[in-house]
Amino acid sequence: MNNFSQQERDGVYKAIFSRRDVRAQFKQDPIPDDVLLRILKAAHHAPSVGFSQPWNFILIKDLETKRKVKESFNEERERSSKLIDDPKRSAYLALKLEGILDAPVNLCITYDPTKFGPFVIGRTSISETGVYSVCCAIQNLWLAARAEGVGVGWVSILSNNDLREILQLPDHIEPIAYLTMGYVTHFEEKPDLERTGWLPRLPLNNVVYFEKWGARDGNGWQKLQTELNGS
Amino acid sequence: MNNFSQQERDGVYKAIFSRRDVRAQFKQDPIPDDVLLRILKAAHHAPSVGFSQPWNFILIKDLETKRKVKESFNEERERSSKLIDDPKRSAYLALKLEGILDAPVNLCITYDPTKFGPFVIGRTSISETGVYSVCCAIQNLWLAARAEGVGVGWVSILSNNDLREILQLPDHIEPIAYLTMGYVTHFEEKPDLERTGWLPRLPLNNVVYFEKWGARDGNGWQKLQTELNGS
């Protein structure tokens, strides 16, 4: 059980490399319950600090709720567009940045710091690790969805205060992600912001250091460094 | 290319469900460069807010560095143990919580909020989304490693100030995760803290709500709710 077949391993990399942050390609077809269950279970099996499983998943289909969230998006998008000038501003406003009303299912993932607390193993030195666990669950969900042919888009141009009010979150609960989910007409080859020329993908050797910050070579890393530069 | 074969999909779920936070099972065998490269590339293809790719990966083999990090762990473990009383304290101190010196490769993953900034699309309303992107990269790395048969352990009982000093991080760089990596004798069936009875796995229906916080049923969700309760 420990070893992966070539095809199983390929499946993992395929999910990782072909996963997209979907905004424009949602179809209305409902996601079957068994598919949704598998995706949620995948999220629930993420690593969590001290096995605290500090996440909750709020599934949303209600049109009225989606409309309120969309309103929050519109306000935040307008507000943030004022931070930049033309031509960047116009380019920003021309981008399709969410599919809240297009996606059949919306999903808010939250963090509950009180779960199994107050003493959570591994969270006593770096308290943020609780939130980090929730993010790992989000990525599990995203990859499982991709393997099921379900697209996921993370809408972060939102007011968390609005989300709290709309979803009636208690004060101690922190909204971490608002996701839109559904089948798609297709998955794009590349991320939208790369495809449209907003930003380039960094070469891998740009983000890897050896032994300490900023070091492009290190004892015993020469071969990997050469391969990195050629990759 | 959009559809997954049954085996590819199974591979994704296998990685998700058999991934472990490894502490005690590391072997000394080196991780080949091509394997390490694939794992790092998987991390680099995580979603990132505004395509900001705000992560850096510091690979560590140097024994002196590992020893300093282990010292930080020892201090933090001692400090945190004072937060609880016996018998919990003894149980805590008996747990194997890191494999810093056992794992051939250590890896610090950091967050750089200045990358492609200051205006990062999608980060203008919720600034924490930059860190969330780094966590998604960590989970990609973890799953790719699992598919390669490489174990990963996240050591969070550490002082970030110590990490900053040991790895010479600039002030604006935030350490997010300190990971230990290597081949393993085996992957445990269940998470250590579940296996040893520290905490139980929550039933999936415990963490899922419908339409708003706390709601165990919702319009149009009856069938899923029934399946959830039976799962």
3-state secondary structure B110-173: EECCCCCCCCCCCCCCCCCHHHHHHHHHHHHHHHHHHHCCEEEEECCCCCHHHHHHHCCCCCCC
Query: Do A59 and B209 count as a contact with CB atoms less than 8 A apart?
Result: yes
The mean per-residue pLDDT over the stretch B68-79 comes to 98
pLDDT confidence band for A231 (50 / 70 / 90): confident
Per the DSSP assignment, residues forming a β-bridge with A58 are: A108, B209
Per the DSSP assignment, residues forming a β-bridge with B105 are: B181
Q: Are B123 and A156 in contact (CB under 8 A)?
A: yes
Which pLDDT value is given to residue B37? 97
Cα distance from A58 to chain B (closest Cα, Å)?
5
Q: Are A71 and A158 in contact (CB under 8 A)?
A: no
Q: Are A25 and A186 in contact (CB under 8 A)?
A: yes
Among B60, B204, B223, beta carbon nearest to A211: B60
The mean per-residue pLDDT over the stretch A49-72 comes to 98
Eight-class DSSP state of B49: G
Q: The whole model's pTM is what? A: 0.98
Query: Residue B56 in 3-state DSSP?
Result: strand
Residues 81-120 of A with CB under 8 A from B: 83-84, 88, 92, 95, 97, 110, 116, 119
pLDDT surpasses 70 at A1? no
Eight-class DSSP state of B104: S
Per the DSSP assignment, residues forming a β-bridge with B58 are: A209, B108
Q: Give the ipTM.
A: 0.97
| Residues of chain A positioned with their CB less than 8 A from the CB of B209 | 56-59
Among B8, B177, B187, beta carbon nearest to A10: B8
pLDDT surpasses 60 at A42? yes
Cα–Cα dist A138/A21, whole Å: 12
pLDDT surpasses 50 at A118? yes
The mean per-residue pLDDT over the stretch B116-139 comes to 96
Query: Residue B1 in 3-state DSSP?
Result: coil
The mean per-residue pLDDT over the stretch A91-114 comes to 97
Residues 31-50 of B with CB under 8 A from A: 33-34, 36-38, 40-42, 44-47, 49-50
In single-letter form, the type of residue at position B54 comes to: P
φ, ψ of residue A17 to 5 degrees: the values are -85, -20
Q: How far is CA B42 from CA A166, A212, B140, B177, in A?
A: 36, 22, 6, 16
- For A32-65, the DSSP string reads PHHHHHHHHHHHHTS--GGG---EEEEEE--HHH
Give the closest residue to A12 by CA, choosing from B137, B12, B151.
B12
Q: For residue B12, give the H/E element and its range.
A: helix B6-18
Which pLDDT value is given to residue A230? 83
Q: Give residue for tokens 């705000």.
A: B54
pLDDT confidence band for B231 (50 / 70 / 90): confident
- For A183-205, the DSSP string reads EBS---SS-HHHHTTSSPPPPGG
Which pLDDT value is given to residue B223? 93
Among A33, A83, A139, beta carbon nearest to B46: A139
Query: Do B37 and A193 count as a contact with CB atoms less than 8 A apart?
Result: no
Cβ of residue B6 closer than 8 Å to a chain A Cβ: no
pLDDT surpasses 90 at B230? no
Query: Do A47 and B154 count as a contact with CB atoms less than 8 A apart?
Result: yes
Q: For residue A153, give the H/E element and its range.
A: strand A150-154
Cα–Cα dist B50/A21, whole Å: 10
Mean pLDDT, all residues of chain B:
96
Query: Do A17 and B92 count as a contact with CB atoms less than 8 A apart?
Result: no
Instruction: Mutation target for A interface from B57, B108, B139, B192: give the one with most A CBs within 10 A.
Output: B139
Cα distance from A226 to chain B (closest Cα, Å)?
10
Tally of CB atoms within 10 A around A86: 9
pLDDT surpasses 90 at B120? yes
pLDDT, tens only, A5-21: 999 999 999 999 999 99
Among A51, A58, A121, beta carbon nearest to B213: A58
Residues 129-158 of B with CB under 8 A from A: 129, 131-132, 135-136, 138-140, 142-144, 146-149, 154, 156-158
Dihedral Cα A184, A187, A193, A195, nearest 10 deg? -130
Cβ of residue A188 closer than 8 Å to a chain B Cβ: no
Give the closest residue to B81 by CA, choosing from A121, A127, A52.
A121
Which pLDDT value is given to residue B1? 47
b/e code A158-170 from CB counts within 10 Å (16+ = b)? bbbebbbebbebe
Cα–Cα dist A57/B85, whole Å: 33
- For chains A and B, CB pairs below 8 A equal 344
Cα–Cα dist A41/A32, whole Å: 14
In single-letter form, the type of residue at position A202 comes to: L
For A119, half-sphere exposure in the C-beta direction (CA atoms, 13 angstrom radius) is 13
pLDDT surpasses 70 at B214? yes
Cα–Cα dist A133/B136, whole Å: 10
Cα–Cα dist A146/A139, whole Å: 11
* Nearest-by-CA chain B residue for A200: B51
| Residues of chain A positioned with their CB less than 8 A from the CB of B11 | 4-5, 7-12
| Residues of chain B positioned with their CB less than 8 A from the CB of A95 | 121
Cα–Cα dist B125/A73, whole Å: 10
| Residues of chain A positioned with their CB less than 8 A from the CB of B2 | 18, 149, 186-187
Name the strands in the sheet holding A208-210, side by side, starting at the edge strand that comes first in the sequence: A208-210, B55-60, B105-111, B174-183, B150-154
In single-letter form, the type of residue at position A210 comes to: F
pLDDT, tens only, B134-187: 999 999 999 999 999 999 999 999 999 999 999 999 999 999 999 999 999 999
**Close Cβ partners of A33 (under 8 Å, ≥ 6 residues apart):** B223, B224, B227
